[in-house]
Amino acid sequence: MTFQEIINQNKPVLVDFFATWCGPCKMMSPILTDLKNRVGDKADIIKIDVDKNPQAAVAYQVQGVPTLVLFKSGKVIWRQSGVVPANALEQLINQNN
């Protein structure tokens, strides 16, 4: 499945734009694992390495990492840079399900 196909789904898709050298990005990893356990199939969570996929970062104006973007049906419905707690992300997904 392509990135476009993934974000065009009817369920929320949380995209974590990250870089391997980024400290806060490493902090997001266990948070996203926890979040996936909480939301299960209600949402997809994918990670995009901005160094390997610069065109995706440019397309969504990702200036800093980590940047989290929530898509639904191909539209950006929320975005935030920095580390975001699992509770806040879970609430966001539930509101947009």
pLDDT at 26: 97
Q: Profile the chain (97 residues) by mean pLDDT over runs of 10 residues.
A: 93 98 97 97 97 95 97 97 97 96
**Given the residues 14, 15, 25, 45, the one annotated as active site:** 25
In the annotation, is 22 catalytic?
Answer: yes
pLDDT of residue 1: 84
* Domain spans in the chain, listed from the N-terminal domain onward: 3-95
Q: Which of 6, 8, 22, 80 is catalytic?
A: 22
What pLDDT was estimated at residue 35? Answer: 98
* Whole-number pLDDT of residue 92: 97
49 burial class (0-12, 13-18, 19+ CB within 10 angstroms)? Answer: middle
Pairing assessment for the beta strands 75-81 and 44-49 based on DSSP bridges: unpaired
Distance CA 54, CA 37 (A): 29
**Annotation marks residue 89 as catalytic:** no
Structure tokens at 42: 């209600």
Domain 3-95 has CATH 3.40.30.10: yes
